[in-house]
Structure formats: C-alpha cells, structure tokens
Amino acid sequence: MARKIRHIPKVVTKLYRKDFYHQPGTLPGTIFIDENAEPPTIFLIDYNQTNFIRKQIATPEECAPYLDTESVSWVDVQGLGNQDILQRLGRVFDLHPLVLEDVVNVPERPKIEDYEDQLLFIARMVVPKDKTCGFYSEQVSFILSKNYLLTVQEEPEHDCFEGVRVRIDRNKGIIRKQRTDYLAYALLDAIIDGFFPVLELYGERIEELEEEVMVNPTRQTLQNIYQVRRELLQLRRAIWPQRDAINSLIRDGSELIGEEVRIYLRDCYDHAVQVMDMVETYRELASGLMDVYLSSVSNKMNEIMKVLTVVSSIFIPLTFVAGIYGMNFNTEKSPYNMPELNWYWGYPICLAIMAAIAFALLFFFWQRGWLKNSSTIKPD
C-alpha cells in the first residue's frame, strides 16, 4: 500500500525542487547544463511583407547575416543541452552575461528586463498533459531587439507557437506587415492563451471532485483535492509574475514596443488577468472542497454511529433481560428466587416486555430522526 504511493511524489518532485534554484556562491553569469537536457536545435524564420525564409540552422553563427537586415528575423532555439552552442549564441546576439544566465539556468521567475537596445522577457509556457495528470511547464525567454527576436525554449517537445508560424507562412492577418514587437506579442499571446485549455481541465477535475466529495468521499478524493490545490499553486506562481511583466511592458516599455502593439498587449494583459482570475477562483473552490470533505467525513461518521447506537441501544437492554432469566437462582430454596420462571405466562410476558422496550426505544430514536437516512441528496 505504502509502496504504491511512493511513486506519486516523484512526478511532483520536479515541479518543486527545480523551481527557482540557484547554485550558491557561483560567479554571476555562470551557466549550468542539465545533463538530461536535449541539445539545442535552432530554427530561423526571416520575413518581411514580401519574402519569407524558414529553415533549421546548425550553428548560431549562421544567424548573424540576418540580424542586421531590415526584415524581421525570428531565431527560435529549442533545448538547452549544449554549453558551447549556448555561449556562442550569447556572443552572436551580444547578450549580457546575466541575460544568458537567466535564459539558460531555468527555471527563472517570469520577468521583464531592459538592457539598452535589447529587451529580455522571461515567460512560462504551460501545455496540458492529458486528461488526468497536470501540465508540462517550460520556460520561454524572449530577447527582443529592433530587427530580430530570439526565443529560447527549454525543450523541443511542447510548443504552442505553431499557429503563429502558420500565420507568418500564409501571410494571415497583419503579422507580415508588422515588426518584431508584434511578433513578440503574437507569441506571448499564444503562451497566455495556452493557459486556458489547462484551466479547462482543472475546471473539469474540480467538478468531478465536487461530485465525489459529496457522494462518496474516500482517501483518494482527499489526495486528489490536495493534488489539485498544489498544481493550482504552481499555475498561480507561473501566471502572476507574467501578468506583472506584461503590465510593465505596456507601461514602462522601451522604445522597442510600438504604440499600436501596445493596444494588442493590453488585450494580452486582459487575458492574463482572466487566467489569474480563474486560477484564484479554482483555488478558492478547491480550498472550499477541503472543508466540504471534512464535513462529509464527519457526516458519514454520524451515519455509522447512528446505526451502531440504534442497534446497540435496542439489543443491549434486551440481552440484559434475557440474561436475568438465564440466571440459575434456585427456585426451590425460596419463593422469592425467580418465581417468574415458574409462572404460567412467564415466557410470553417476558417476550412482551422485551417487545415493549424495543418499541419504546425505536420510538425514541424515530422521534430524534435517527431512523431515516439523512445522507441522501436530492437532485437540485
């Protein structure tokens, strides 16, 4: 039993321990490569209103020619598993050592930072896992400059940017007419909107738990509620700083963000606020469920105790009466020794008394409402 459960925390461990960890006492700007991380693959998309290039490139240096052209260059790095490539990337894009540290030493808290002609935006992307079990969470770093946008993703598997790539490719909407700031907005918007399907799953799980907790609360229910609370806490830590970062992007943003894109970012900010709103609502519901669980368990105990009490309180006195007439006092030694045993109607009277006691107690319990089952729930 205990052995089975031991597997669960392992899923959780990663969420905790890796969140926001920094090796103490190291040189600022030092980067750490997780040995399990996949090697980076680099994709380049370069476009303007008329042209469009999309290709995978082998080395960071290949980007260099595209960066200073007037066309918008989007370099998307996926995977953090090679120190050499990452450091060369830092040189090609002329990144401050602290920027490179933030980008590589994941997980970092979502934030925005302004470096002269670059803007660093650390975002957190979530992707729903499957119907039952949480979400994948991944850091995406944006380095926004006038002519290029560098995005670095933690791992290549999950990604919610495909819609944007298609829009660039097929020239849908205004994206090809806009600059890097709009591209950054479009990706950020995809990340924020990516929280909604995850939240939808939690909405469904909470509904299931509501039913479970009312109808048949078990230990499993308790564990599930706790699990949901913990994962919502996780989500809240992901969206809260992101919302603040978008807000300061709108208000204090550098010249890199155009006036028109600010309107779009306002929309994106609204969505982030809505995500926050839902996360908080779900957290309150989940926390309310814990109370309901405890009450439900107490309620069930009441039911159990009622059965025990009714049965015991009726039969224990009856058994006592039967016990009396099972005593072996010698009726022959004295007329006072259990004369009832020799009465003509002794046994029927005895049974009648027992029945009377039983009915009296039943009436007493019925009057208190202990005989009806109070645990049924009427459909609303």
- Minimum distance, C-beta of residue 148 to a second copy, in the bound complex (Å): 22
Q: How far apart are CA 121 and CA 140, in angstroms?
A: 8
Site for a second copy in 126-155 (CB under 8 A): 132-133
Instruction: Output 53 or 322, the one with its CB closest to a second copy.
Output: 322
Q: How far apart are CA 320 and CA 59, in angstroms?
A: 92
The piece of 85-93, 147-155, 246-254, 258-266 that touches a second copy (CB under 8 A) is 258-266
Site for a second copy in 89-108 (CB under 8 A): 96, 98, 101-102, 108
- Minimum distance, C-beta of residue 68 to a second copy, in the bound complex (Å): 25
Q: Which of 65, 172, 356, 363 lies at the binding interface for a second copy (CB under 8 A)? A: 172
Site for a second copy in 263-302 (CB under 8 A): 263-264, 266-267, 270-271, 273-275, 277-278, 281, 284-285, 288, 290-302
Q: In DSSP terms, which residues pair with 120 in a beta bridge? A: 113, 143
Q: Which of 214, 247, 254, 362 lies at the binding interface for a second copy (CB under 8 A)? A: 214
Q: How far apart are CA 338 and CA 330, in angstroms?
A: 8
As a residue count, the chain comes to 380
- What is the total count of residues that contact a second copy (CB under 8 A)? 150
Instruction: Output 96 or 146, the one with its CB closest to a second copy.
Output: 96
Phi, psi of 340, rounded to the nearest 5 degrees: -55, -35
What type of residue sits at position 146? K
- Minimum distance, C-beta of residue 309 to a second copy, in the bound complex (Å): 4
Query: Per CB under 8 A, does 84 bind a second copy?
Result: no
- Minimum distance, C-beta of residue 59 to a second copy, in the bound complex (Å): 26
Task: 247-252: list long-range contacts, CB under 8 Å, 24+ apart.
Answer: 248/112, 249/112, 249/121, 252/114
Tokens of 145: 């400059």
The piece of 43-51, 80-88, 142-150, 316-324 that touches a second copy (CB under 8 A) is 316-324
Site for a second copy in 20-49 (CB under 8 A): 20-29
- Minimum distance, C-beta of residue 181 to a second copy, in the bound complex (Å): 14
Query: Per CB under 8 A, does 83 bind a second copy?
Result: no
Q: Residue 136 is inside which H or E element, if any?
A: strand 135-144
Instruction: Output 13 or 59, the one with its CB closest to a second copy.
Output: 13
Residue holding tokens 């030092």? Answer: 30
Site for a second copy in 326-355 (CB under 8 A): 326-331, 333-334, 336-338, 340-348, 350
Tokens of 69: 């052209």
Instruction: Output 63 or 104, the one with its CB closest to a second copy.
Output: 104
- Minimum distance, C-beta of residue 377 to a second copy, in the bound complex (Å): 5
Q: How far apart are CA 53 and CA 74, in angstroms?
A: 10
Task: Using CA atoms of 119, 88, 108, 255 in order, give the dihedral in degrees to the nearest 10.
Answer: 0
Tokens of 182: 């709009």
Query: Per CB under 8 A, does 184 bind a second copy?
Result: no
Task: 101-104: list long-range contacts, CB under 8 Å, 24+ apart.
Answer: 101/28, 101/29, 101/30, 101/31, 102/141, 103/141, 103/143, 103/152, 104/31, 104/32, 104/33, 104/80, 104/152
Task: Using CA atoms of 210, 213, 218, 221 in order, give the dihedral in degrees to the nearest 10.
Answer: 30
The piece of 33-41, 66-74, 85-93, 166-174 that touches a second copy (CB under 8 A) is 166-174
Instruction: Output 68 or 277, the one with its CB closest to a second copy.
Output: 277
Query: Per CB under 8 A, does 359 bind a second copy?
Result: no
Query: Per CB under 8 A, does 371 bind a second copy?
Result: no
